[in-house]
């Protein structure tokens, strides 16, 4: 029969998604085993996942949560954030980071980012800490899989007595000067949403070196209760299920391989993408980058997005509106009479960034095709 297709037609059928979770028979069988036990909600499987997560990445302890946003909310409360407290943070992130500050009725003070790394700028933190001497907290995001500049930031935090909380939702396995993200402050949080470097469907984790911090977190996750029907504080139902944890335990066995695949894909792009219309991401010499996203910048973004989409290459814009420009954040800041600085670098980046596929499921053929297509882009 043999339907012959021209090269162009073949390319029309191609679709390379920006994100693809790596789920195999191991995860399917692990979930089935949990279903067969009938212990579906939080139980032994969750405790096993917490322990293995700590051991794998080198954390003192972990507390599993329903999702990464809940992890942030609990971590801020465990760090002591109270209504009205000012929390220095980045505007160039997923909105969940700042929403968690709002859940605490605290006030996000947005600090501009570094143009090259997309991460919060140490110099801008210093300026904000001077302008807001009453601020006690700094909520960092290790964006796109790359750690913030933790040597400089730790120094500033010490000088201004800022407690650091780290949003590591995009940085499972990332390190700075060989130290894992999530160990630079009082606690760190992870997300296991399907687009992240490892997934449990929905899920999250809080890590800390401080056993008191973890104990408070576990209390808040489970309605303030250690003993059934005895409630010590106002808590939440933020528990992870055994079903999710079973997936997480299998993903942990693969995370190093998945991160190496992301790093190899990025390496291939660095060696082979040559187009003066796009700028490739910057990698800090002290950072072990796990490439949650491979984010380029271009002043021709609209044209590039539609060109790549025509060629079957999925892209993502992370993020097209910086958080301090989001409607509910502007309204909230107005309601608490906080005047926000402008963050010109975040605003400029939001017009120029474009993430291209770097997920571990890409084949060599996919990578060659992405490179060739981007190299052929012109305006």
Name the residues that contact ligand PLP, by CB under 6 A: 67-69, 93-94, 96-97, 141, 167, 169-170, 191, 193, 204
* Nearest residue to 102 via CA among 322, 346, 336, 325: 336
Are 81 and 106 a contacting pair, CB within 8 Å?
yes
Kindly state the smallest distance separating residue 259's Cβ from ligand PLP, in Å.
16
For ligand PLP, which residue has the nearest CB? 68
- Residue closer to ligand PLP by CB (options 244, 345) is 244
Kindly state the smallest distance separating residue 267's Cβ from ligand PLP, in Å.
23
Which tokens is 168 given? Answer: 């590591």
Q: Is the dihedral of CA 96, 100, 106, 111 positive or negative?
A: negative
Kindly state the smallest distance separating residue 193's Cβ from ligand PLP, in Å.
4
What is the spatial distance between Cα 32 and Cα 201, in angstroms, rounded to a whole number? Answer: 15
Are 208 and 187 a contacting pair, CB within 8 Å?
yes
CA dihedral 69, 75, 77, 78 (to 10 degrees): 160
- Residue closer to ligand PLP by CB (options 45, 355) is 355
What is the spatial distance between Cα 214 and Cα 218, in angstroms, rounded to a whole number? Answer: 6
- Residue closer to ligand PLP by CB (options 63, 278) is 63
What is the spatial distance between Cα 329 and Cα 107, in angstroms, rounded to a whole number? Answer: 10
Residue 15 backbone phi and psi in degrees, to 5: -140, 120
Kindly state the smallest distance separating residue 320's Cβ from ligand PLP, in Å.
15
Where helices occur in 183-236 by DSSP H, the ranges are 211-221
Kindly state the smallest distance separating residue 150's Cβ from ligand PLP, in Å.
17
What residues pair up with 20 in beta bridges, in sequence order? none
- Residue closer to ligand PLP by CB (options 238, 307) is 238
Kindly state the smallest distance separating residue 192's Cβ from ligand PLP, in Å.
7
Q: What is the DSSP letter of 236?
A: -
Residue 294 backbone phi and psi in degrees, to 5: -110, 100
Kindly state the smallest distance separating residue 145's Cβ from ligand PLP, in Å.
10
- Residue closer to ligand PLP by CB (options 182, 204) is 204
- Residue closer to ligand PLP by CB (options 191, 359) is 191
- Residue closer to ligand PLP by CB (options 141, 150) is 141
Are 354 and 297 a contacting pair, CB within 8 Å?
yes
- Residue closer to ligand PLP by CB (options 96, 278) is 96
Kindly state the smallest distance separating residue 191's Cβ from ligand PLP, in Å.
3
Q: How do 187-191 and 163-167 pair as beta strands?
A: parallel
């Amino acid at each position: 029969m043999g339907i012959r297709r021209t090269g162009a037609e073949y390319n029309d059928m191609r679709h390379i998604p920006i994100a693809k979770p790596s789920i195999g028979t191991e995860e399917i069988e692990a979930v089935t085993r949990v279903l067969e036990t009938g212990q579906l909600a939080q139980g032994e499987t969750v405790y096993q996942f917490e322990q293995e997560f700590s051991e794998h990445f080198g954390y003192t302890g972990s507390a599993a949560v329903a999702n990464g946003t809940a992890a942030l909310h609990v971590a801020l409360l465990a760090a002591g954030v109270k209504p009205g407290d000012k929390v220095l943070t980045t505007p160039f992130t997923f909105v969940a980071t700042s929403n968690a500050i709002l859940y605490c009725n605290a006030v996000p003070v947005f600090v501009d980012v570094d143009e090259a790394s997309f991460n919060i700028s140490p110099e801008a933190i210093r300026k904000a800490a001077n302008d807001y001497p009453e601020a006690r907290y700094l909520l960092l995001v290790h964006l796109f899989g790359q750690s913030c500049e933790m040597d400089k930031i730790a120094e500033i935090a010490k000088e201004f007595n800022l407690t650091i909380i780290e949003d590591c939702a995009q940085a499972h396995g990332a390190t700075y000067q060989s130290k894992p993200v999530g160990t630079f402050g009082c606690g760190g949080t992870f997300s296991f949403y399907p687009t992240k470097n490892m997934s449990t469907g929905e899920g999250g984790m809080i890590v800390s070196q401080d056993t008191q911090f973890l104990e408070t977190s576990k209390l808040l996750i489970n309605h303030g209760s250690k003993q059934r029907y005895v409630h010590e504080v106002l808590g939440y139902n933020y528990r992870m299920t055994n079903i999710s944890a079973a997936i997480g335990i299998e993903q942990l066995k693969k995370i190093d391989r998945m991160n190496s695949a992301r790093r190899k894909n990025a390496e291939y792009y660095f060696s082979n993408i040559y187009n003066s219309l796009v700028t490739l991401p910057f990698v800090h010499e002290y950072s072990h980058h796990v490439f949650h996203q491979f984010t380029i910048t271009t002043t021709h973004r609209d044209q590039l997005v539609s060109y790549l989409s025509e060629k079957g290459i999925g892209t993502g814009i992370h993020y097209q509106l910086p958080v301090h420009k989001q409607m509910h954040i502007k309204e909230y800041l107005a309601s608490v009479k906080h005047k926000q600085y402008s963050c010109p670098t975040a605003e400029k980046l939001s017009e120029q960034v474009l993430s291209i596929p770097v997920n571990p499921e890409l084949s060599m053929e996919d990578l060659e095709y992405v490179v060739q297509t981007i190299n052929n882009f012109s305006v």
